């Protein structure tokens, strides 16, 4: 009997939008070193390289990381007033990619009406409060019983501890009673099935090549729209 549905965030609850992550770091660096184009360009390049290295590293050990880790890897000072303003510019750049799918709220309410507990498990380096702000903006924050951000964890998807943390957040111990919904075959589908969850694939994201991992896994269901999910889960 299914008791909980846990969602990936980016590319699942939020429609995939291809963004130039380097532009986000340029926005940061140009405020961090306002008036010094050379230093700003050097910092932006270093941050982009550190960002790529951290995401690529997940393929090997699923080690979670934070914005602060990327800044430290790039040897970027981040304990002064300039950093705070620069980080706000970085965050503002990414807002365009944070909007919740319009089908999410009615879908989530339909699942709650089925008596299911709802959660999020996202691989993210961003602070949880950023995500909560965006979910609150879109009127869906209170529809979740638990929200798990890898920036608060030692490991991220597909590591089993990340999925167990998400299960704990919604108060369900049995993975066979949980469904995970995500857009990535390796991180989401194989990770969820490896701990005993059912897994639903939403196959619309253009996953960066350096984050792809070939994996032989078959989801329990594939949906093209979030609105399809309540009927799929009801059938289980």
Strands 146-149 and 117-122, sheet pairing: parallel
Left (φ > 0), alpha (ψ -120 to 50) or beta: where does 210 sit? alpha
Angstrom distance (rounded) from CA 175 to CA 19:
34
How does 27-58 read in b/e, with b if 16+ C-beta sit within 10 Å?
A: bbbbbbbeeeeeebeebbebbbebbbebbeeb
Angstrom distance (rounded) from CA 189 to CA 185:
5
Residue 80 has pLDDT above 80, yes or no: no
pLDDT digits (tens, 9 = 90+) for 112-123: 999 999 999 999
Contact of 99 with 14, CB cutoff 8 Å: yes
pLDDT digits (tens, 9 = 90+) for 171-195: 999 999 999 999 999 999 999 999 9
Q: Give the pair of three-digit tokens for residue 96.
A: 């365009």
What's the whole-number mean pLDDT along residues 208-229?
A: 85
pLDDT digits (tens, 9 = 90+) for 17-35: 889 999 999 999 999 998 8
Q: How far is CA 234 from the centre of its chain?
A: 26
Q: Give the pair of three-digit tokens for residue 32.
A: 């961090």
Average pLDDT of the chain, as a whole number: 94
């Amino acid at each position: 009997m299914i008791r909980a549905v846990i969602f990936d965030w980016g590319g699942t609850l939020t429609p995939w939008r291809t963004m130039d992550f380097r532009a986000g770091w340029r926005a940061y660096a140009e405020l961090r070193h306002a008036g010094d184009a050379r230093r700003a360009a050097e910092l932006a390049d270093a941050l982009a390289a550190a960002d790529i290295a951290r995401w690529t590293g997940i393929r090997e050990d699923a080690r979670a990381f934070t914005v602060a880790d990327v800044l430290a890897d790039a040897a970027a000072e981040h304990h002064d007033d300039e950093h705070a303003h620069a980080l706000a510019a970085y965050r503002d750049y990414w807002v365009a990619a944070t909007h919740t799918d319009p089908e999410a709220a009615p879908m989530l309410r339909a699942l709650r009406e089925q008596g299911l507990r709802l959660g999020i498990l996202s691989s993210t380096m961003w602070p949880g409060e950023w995500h909560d702000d965006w979910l609150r903006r879109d009127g869906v924050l209170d529809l979740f019983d638990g929200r798990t951000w890898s920036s608060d964890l030692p490991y991220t998807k597909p590591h089993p501890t990340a999925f167990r943390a998400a299960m704990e957040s919604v108060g369900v111990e049995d993975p066979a009673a949980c469904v995970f919904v995500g857009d990535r075959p390796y991180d989401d589908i194989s990770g969820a099935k490896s701990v005993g969850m059912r897994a639903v694939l939403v196959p619309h994201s253009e996953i960066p090549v350096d984050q792809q991992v070939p994996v032989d896994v078959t989801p329990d269901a594939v949906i093209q729209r979030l609105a399809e999910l309540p009927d799929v889960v009801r059938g289980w």
